[in-house]
């Protein structure tokens, strides 16, 4: 069963991260999502602890041609990755956020709820058409601790234009 909280606005500071990037479809996130363990492994192999929960960052949302996303892990200091990993920074700013409890495949209702809430309040999103300044799904639940997908907690965060 899915559940989401009342959306809210929050100020976020810039956050460095290490990620993998790729193009996926709504029906097939695996080519990028399944590489998160690779990011965690790379960090662990260098003694770099995660500085927060893993996330998916939506760079381009184009339902017809694919979604460009990153699967990332926050870090506390500048880090130079190698191979196919990239370093990035989530921008500081005001974000509309909502917390969701339930299977990741039910996030579409929480996303719609967040966008409807923001639109009703006259928020302007940080996007240029299909390209997003910062649109995130932050996975708060460790699947090794809570394997029941119905109990997973995810925060949706979308930067607004100020």
Per-residue pLDDT of the chain (162 residues; tens, 9 = 90+): 457 789 999 999 999 999 999 999 878 888 999 999 999 999 999 999 999 999 999 999 998 889 999 999 999 999 999 899 999 999 999 999 999 999 988 899 999 999 999 999 999 999 999 999 999 999 999 988 999 999 999 999 999 997
The two structure tokens encoding residue 80: 């130079």
CATH 3.30.70.20 matches 3-159: no
Give exposure, 40-73, as e/b (b: 16+ Cβ within 10 Å). Answer: eebbeeeebebeeebbbbbbbbeeeeebbbbbbb
The Cα–Cα gap between 14 and 74 comes to: 10
Q: In this structure, are residues 127 and 135 in contact, taking their beta carbons and an 8 Å threshold?
A: yes
Whole-number CA gyration radius for the chain = 15
* pTM of the full structure: 0.94
- Please, what sign has the CA dihedral across residues 23, 28, 33, 35? negative
Q: In this structure, are residues 135 and 58 in contact, taking their beta carbons and an 8 Å threshold?
A: yes
């Amino acid at each position: 069963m899915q559940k989401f909280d009342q959306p809210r606005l929050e100020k976020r500071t810039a956050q460095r991260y290490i990620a993998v990037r790729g193009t996926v479809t709504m029906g097939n996130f695996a080519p990028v999502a399944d590489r998160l363990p690779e990011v965690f492994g790379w960090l662990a192999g260098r003694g770099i602890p995660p500085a927060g929960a893993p996330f998916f960052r939506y760079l381009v949302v184009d339902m017809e041609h694919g979604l460009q996303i990153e699967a990332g892990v926050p870090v506390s200091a500048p880090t130079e990755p190698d191979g196919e990993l990239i370093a990035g920074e989530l921008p500081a700013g005001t974000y509309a956020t909502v917390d969701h409890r339930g299977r990741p495949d039910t996030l579409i209702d929480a996303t719609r709820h967040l966008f409807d809430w923001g639109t009703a309040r006259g928020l302007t999103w940080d996007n240029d058409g299909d390209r997003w300044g910062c649109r995130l799904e932050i996975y708060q639940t460790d699947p090794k601790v809570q394997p029941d997908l119905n109990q997973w907690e995810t925060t949706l965060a979308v930067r607004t234009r100020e």
